[in-house]
Amino acid sequence: MSGKTNQERIEEIEQKINQLKVKKTQIENRERERKKKARTKRLIQIGIIFEKHFGITDEVEAEKMAWAFKQTINKDRFRIKDIDLIRSRERNEAVYTTIETNRGGEHS
């Protein structure tokens, strides 16, 4: 015999269940915090990009710019995703990964 009553075994199991619930909650809290930090970092990085390229320095100006660009961006979203960032930075203009004719008649 193990020397423990059924009631003692039940109490031990309930203790373990409670400990596991606490651990689960801690893990969930850490994951929420990780996601929150990742979102904050992403928002800061996006803000830095818009400040760099458009000189946006306040929320009202950013909101106005967002409304101004919203229609164009939504219309050309898939084309915009084809911009080659490296070549665009080199030329200081949008260069697309797909072959198309630019203003000067040469292919990108």
Q: Quick check: pTM over 0.75? A: no
In the block, residue with structure tokens 């015999």: 1
Res. 18: pLDDT tops 60? yes
Query: Which helix (H) or strand (E) is 68 found in, with range?
Result: helix 59-75
CB 82 within 8 A of CB 97: yes
DSSP-assigned states of every residue in 36-64:
HHHHHHHHHHHHHHHHHHH---SHHHHHH
For residues 11-31, average pLDDT:
98
Tens digits of per-residue pLDDT, 37-94? 999 999 999 889 888 888 888 889 888 888 888 877 887 777 777 888 899 889 998 8
